[in-house]
Structure 1
């Protein structure tokens, strides 16, 4: 089972980067993920057990979301890519507007049986 992780990368001035800079960063991360099929067994195992979801770039930080089997895989990916991984946090719960299901039933006028059906109706 893959767990969700948030990674905080301190990268002073990163927000001033260009589209080309961000493309290169994404390309490097993708390259590490794609190259994980090498003959080194732990590297091969890493590839099937970690997925990059997306990243948010602020002035001085990159906040990334990954799905991974464990925190060590996230650290290994960062090391192979040459990225900082200053703080890695395992997500315990995801809260979004659908978490307030009772509030949605009031909006719709009937009890919501399925959050997905509400969102797609």
Structure 2
């Protein structure tokens, strides 16, 4: 499955409480369960005003469907073309 990075604009994201983050994760998991494996959430990074999420999925439309059904913003959905890390330079 291709990997995607989703940029979600969410003003004040960095101020969300653990309970609020928990509720978001519960909703996300519920929507994904109903999608029958067409998308899978790997992890998210919360910044001051955005959440960056990493997913694998059948295609970008599956990732956008998850956002739409869950009521989550998905301002930018980008398919990952490759990865690099410090070992790439060795």
TM-score greater than 0.5 by the shorter chain? yes
Structure 1 counterpart of 2:66, from 53, 65, 77: 77
Counterpart Cα distance in 1 of 2:56 and 2:27: 18
Corresponding position: 1:66 with 2:65? no
1:20 alignment counterpart: 19
For structure 1, the 5+ residue unaligned runs are: 37-45, 104-121
Give the structure-2-normalised TM-score.
0.95
Q: Helix, strand or coil for the counterpart of 2:53? A: strand
**Aligned-pair distance for 1:99?**
1.6
Q: Helix, strand or coil for the counterpart of 1:12? A: coil
Root mean square deviation of aligned Cα: 0.9
**Aligned-pair distance for 1:16?**
0.5
**Aligned-pair distance for 1:51?**
0.6
Q: Which has the higher contact order (CA 8 A, sep 6+)?
A: 2
Query: Which of the two has greater helix per residue?
Result: 1
**Aligned-pair distance for 1:98?**
2.4
For structure 2, the 5+ residue unaligned runs are: none
Counterpart Cα distance in 2 of 1:82 and 1:47: 18
Task: Count residues with an aligned counterpart.
Answer: 90
